[in-house]
A and B are shown apart, each in its own frame.
Chain A
Amino acid sequence: MKLEMRQKLAREPFTEKIRKVGQLIRLAKTFPRRDAKPAPAHPALSAEALAKGDAK
């Protein structure tokens, strides 16, 4: 993800960020990682995807 996009996400209200963390937790439970690799388990888990509303 581009740095500008990440900085934009960082500036969002805390309440909104916590809502997204809740979404990320639910998605992580739905799509658990198969191994311990540091790469994202699913594209929808990225904050960028959530910000775009891609993750359903």
Chain B
Amino acid sequence: MPINEPSANLPLADVLRAANGLVAAKLIEDWALGGALAAIYYVEPFTTYDADIFFIPADKGLTAGIPAIYAHLQAQGWEVEREHLLLRGFPVQFLAASGLTKEAVREAARVEYEGVPAKIFSAEHIVAIAASVGRPKDKARIEQLLQQADLDKTRLEKILQRHKLKLPTL
């Protein structure tokens, strides 16, 4: 299927393949799936409108190499719409990782999705990131993960302590 032909299904495998391609092209050092789709790895499916790819930049400058990443993906047929890149109409956000999210990329779980090697934030890091952001939807995500995911409470506590975070009152 051409890279930007609208897809009836969520083109996650192609998104992950493209992220691997950015590593191969030395535009990023490492990456992992974060955000709602990473949470769905551990909990029930729910509606989300984009994929969040957190990456460790190869370019340590202020732009984190984002212009080159955009150019690389646009050359492959991706389209730009505000802060998103669109693959078959599905919005993907590439976010430079730092601090807690950088640690989340480094310690992400290695998985395979439809034959594509990928990394997904650990459930404990998703909880910690949600605690650091603190919007109502982040609190809902924490509650969902606490109820449904097989969390390593010791690991979560260490992450929270390391980043001086506390779980919100639910």
Smallest distance from the beta carbon of B85 to chain A beta carbons, Å? 17
Q: Which of B10, B37, B114, B149 contacts A10 (CB 8 A)?
A: B149
B44 contacts A18, C-beta separation under 8 Å: no
B113 contacts A24, C-beta separation under 8 Å: no
B148 contacts A17, C-beta separation under 8 Å: no
Give the residues in chain B near A24, CB-CB below 8 Å: 45-47
Give the residues in chain B near A18, CB-CB below 8 Å: 10, 12, 37, 40, 45, 113
B45 contacts A9, C-beta separation under 8 Å: yes
Contact with B along A20-31 (1 / 0, CB 8 A): 111011101000
Which residues in window 6-47 of A have CB below 8 A to B? 6-7, 9-10, 12, 14-15, 17-22, 24-26, 28, 45, 47
Question: How far, in whole Å, are A27 and B114 apart by their CA atoms in the complex?
Answer: 24
Instruction: Give the interface residue-count category, chain B.
Output: 20 to 34
Question: How far, in whole Å, are A9 and B10 apart by their CA atoms in the complex?
Answer: 18
A10 contacts B148, C-beta separation under 8 Å: yes
Give the residues in chain B near A45, CB-CB below 8 Å: 47
Contact with A along B79-121 (1 / 0, CB 8 A): 0000000000000000000000000000000010110000000
Question: How far, in whole Å, are A17 and B42 apart by their CA atoms in the complex?
Answer: 10
9 nearest CB pairs, A to B = A9-B44, A10-B148, A22-B10, A20-B45, A17-B45, A24-B47, A10-B43, A22-B9, A6-B44
Smallest distance from the beta carbon of A33 to chain B beta carbons, Å? 11
Smallest distance from the beta carbon of B99 to chain A beta carbons, Å? 27
Q: List 16 A-B residue pairs with CB atoms under 8 Å apart, sorted by A's residue number.
A: A3-B147, A7-B147, A10-B149, A14-B40, A14-B41, A15-B114, A17-B41, A18-B10, A20-B45, A21-B37, A21-B46, A21-B47, A22-B10, A24-B45, A25-B48, A26-B8
Give the residues in chain A near B148, CB-CB below 8 Å: 6-7, 10
B8 contacts A17, C-beta separation under 8 Å: no
Q: Which of A10, A25, A26 contacts B44 (CB 8 A)?
A: A10
Find the residue from B40, B111, B114 having the highest chain A CB count within 10 A: B40
Smallest distance from the beta carbon of B158 to chain A beta carbons, Å? 24
